[in-house]
Amino acid sequence: MLSRLSRRGYCSCVRQPWLFLGLGNPGDKYKGTRHNIGFEMIDVFAESVGIQMNLLNFKAIMGQGFVGDIPVILAKPQTYMNLSGESSGPLAAYYKLPLNRVLVVHDDTQLPCGVLRLQEKGGHGCHNGLKSVMHHFRGNREFARLRIGIGKPPGQMDPKAFLLQKFSMLARERIDGALEEGVEALKLVLSKDFGESWRLFNVEQKYKHLKQHTILEP
């Protein structure tokens, strides 16, 4: 598989790969925390399409395979969140991928818990992982994102403490449902360019939020 997807070999035999990057922190200490939802999304997607996350390269746990006839590279940088670009930058460069074939999955406090948003490009929104990724992409913001809402910290809670906490039982149920929907969102990315299908997905997610009851403690 490595040879089929190598920077020297893939162009002549298969379609150009997509790189899906999930952001998070390595180690059991951070497993299941809000800030690690990007890692979870990559793992759930990998399992759903039969890609094994059994490679370690570019400071990332990686998996490579095909979804239909589309080659896909999955990666979870192990550099800690704030240095995610140290992995993603060299990884995208090695495969000579244009940034319109890169998608970053990350947590987002600006979206309600369990609500997803596909985005063609954008800024970092004060997300330190995205800041690092953009820095190592030479300031370029022309890459897609799957934003996964985790809600805002309640009351005067320290945002950093909030990010490193695990989900409440109710929030966990919503996140599990969101991960299932995220699999379909990533498949949509593989099958359709940014356009009406992405917009319809976002509208559906917005409507889902309007139907939800407010979570007081995400």
Give catalytic residue positions.
35
Note whether 214 and 174 are within 8 A (CB).
Answer: no
Q: Which residues make beta-bridge pairs with 145?
A: 104, 119
What whole-number distance in Å separates Cα of residue 102 and Cα of residue 88? 10
Residue 9's identity, in one-letter code, is G
- DSSP, residue by residue, 8-59: TTHHHHSPPPEEEEE----SGGGTTBGGGHHHHHHHHHHHHHT----EEETT
The two beta strands, 60-67 and 55-57, are antiparallel
What's the longest Cα–Cα distance across the chain? Answer: 55
Note whether 183 and 45 are within 8 A (CB).
Answer: yes
| 100 secondary structure, DSSP code | G
Note whether 74 and 51 are within 8 A (CB).
Answer: yes
Task: Give 203: exposed, middle or buried? Use CB within 10 Å, 0-12, 13-18, 19+.
Answer: exposed
